Amino acid sequence: MNDTLAHPLVRAYLTSVEERTTALPDVRRQELLADLREHIEVALADSDTFDENSVRRVLDQLGTPGEIAAAALAEEPGNHPVPESSRHTSVTLCLIVMALPAALIPVIGPFLALAATVAALVRLWKSPQWVRREKRQATLLVLSPVVTVPALAVVLSVALGGLTPITLMTALLAAMCLPVAAAIRLGRSAARLRQQLR
């Protein structure tokens, strides 16, 4: 009866559940997918016909992949992101975005940049609204300028003939892309969570 699981609708459905349950422990995730596979096979064996319509009906009764993922995540103890106020979130995201430009301020700039980065990371890791995976990714992106700024400065100075304040500034601004991307992703995820629990 493996042909039922090979049906494109079924494959797309199971893939979607799999993609939405990355936050689950692996054992739990495999178990859920095995349960759903079994259900689909049995439900189709129980139905009198096997065609597009019966596949659709079985999947409709199962519910959307999003609903199932939410139910599975809700069963997991201590795995619930809790939303924070949008103001608290904004401060964290501002620190992430402003840390690098702050380095341009004369004399105290580098200290400000360091302080903002440390503050942003402490707030990020203390926050209950992002899962560990999101925090790890964001941390890498926030710290990326340590590598990208010198690398870009070298490339630009070779291309433009010498290290001038302008090349350094350009390198800094270009390196901002990754922390900004981190802030956008964190902001979206936080907004989704607030929306869900409204």
Partner 1 sequence: MVDGYASIPGADGRVASQLRKGVLEYCVLALLRDGPRYGVELLAELARVEVMATSQGTIYPLLSRLRRTGLADTHLRESESGPPRRYYTLTDAGRSALEEFTANWPSFRAAVDHFLTPGETT
What is the smallest separation between the CB atom of 17 and partner 1, expressed in angstroms?
A: 8
Q: How far apart are CA 102 and CA 63, in angstroms?
A: 49
Q: Are 183 and 96 in contact (CB under 8 A)?
A: yes
Which lies closer to partner 1 via its Cβ, residue 61 or residue 195?
61
Question: Does residue 186 belong to the site contacting partner 1 (CB under 8 A)?
Answer: no
Which lies closer to partner 1 via its Cβ, residue 42 or residue 105?
42
Question: Does residue 32 belong to the site contacting partner 1 (CB under 8 A)?
Answer: yes
Which lies closer to partner 1 via its Cβ, residue 66 or residue 150?
66
What is the smallest separation between the CB atom of 34 and partner 1, expressed in angstroms?
A: 10
Among 38, 151, 155, 164, binds partner 1 (CB under 8 A): 38
Question: Does residue 25 belong to the site contacting partner 1 (CB under 8 A)?
Answer: no
Give the long-range contacts of residues 21-26, CB within 8 A, separation 24 or more.
21/69, 21/72, 21/73, 22/133, 23/73, 23/76, 23/79, 23/131, 23/133, 24/72, 24/73, 24/76, 24/79, 25/76
In 3D, which of 40, 109, 124, 24 has the Cα closest to residue 75? 24
Q: By rule CB under 8 A, what count of residues binds partner 1?
A: 26
Mark residues 47-86: x for contact with partner 1 by CB under 8 A, - for none.
Answer: --------------xxxx--xx-xxx-xx-----------
Question: Does residue 44 belong to the site contacting partner 1 (CB under 8 A)?
Answer: yes
Task: Dig out the tokens for 38 from the structure.
Answer: 């079994």
Question: In a 3-state reduction of DSSP, which class is residue 83?
Answer: coil
Which lies closer to partner 1 via its Cβ, residue 158 or residue 197?
197
The C-alpha R_g of the chain, in whole angstroms, comes to: 24
* CB-count burial class (<10 Å; 0-12, 13-18, 19+) for 190: buried
Residue ranges in contact with partner 1 by CB under 8 A:
1, 17, 28, 31-32, 35-36, 38-39, 41-46, 61-64, 67-68, 70-72, 74-75
